């Protein structure tokens, strides 16, 4: 969840994974995948930054939890794995 400020100053917490678009008009309009819209005080750049930080935090926490699991069960296979995905062709040998 990310915390944003509505025009009246109240806070709204939105699920960053459900945000479809962030538009800059006179105000910033955040549209969710279900079509709901929120007009917020935050700039579009601030909203995108909040989404990026949220996702980075989730990934860092997942990796931390994986490291803890691996430490606790040194000889056992970890219960989960964190996969680092990248586009095809994004390797040193040109994708081969």
User: For 3-53, what is each residue's pLDDT tens digit?
Assistant: 999 999 999 999 999 999 999 989 999 999 999 999 999 999 999 999 999
Q: Three-state SS string across 3-65, please?
A: EEEECCCCEEEECHHHEEEEEECCCEEEEECCCCEEEECCCHHHHHHHHHHHHHHHHHHHHHH
Which residue(s) pair with 93 in the sheet? none
Q: CA dihedral defined by 22, 38, 54, 87, rounded to 10 degrees?
A: -30
Q: In the chain, where are the structural domains located?
A: 2-72
CB-CB contact of 32 with 12 (8 Å): no
What is the rounded distance in angstroms from the CA atom of residue 19 to the CA atom of residue 36?
10
Q: What tens digit of pLDDT does each residue of 63-95 get?
A: 888 777 666 555 555 566 667 677 776 555 555
């Amino acid at each position: 969840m990310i915390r944003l400020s509505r025009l009246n100053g109240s806070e709204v917490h939105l699920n960053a994974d459900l945000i479809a678009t962030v538009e800059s008009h006179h105000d910033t309009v955040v549209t969710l995948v279900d079509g709901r819209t929120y007009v917020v005080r935050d700039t579009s750049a601030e909203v995108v930054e909040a989404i990026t930080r949220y996702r980075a935090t989730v990934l860092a926490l997942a990796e931390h939890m994986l490291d803890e699991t691996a430490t606790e069960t040194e000889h056992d296979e970890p219960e989960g794995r964190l996969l680092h995905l990248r586009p095809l062709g994004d390797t040193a040998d040109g994708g081969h």
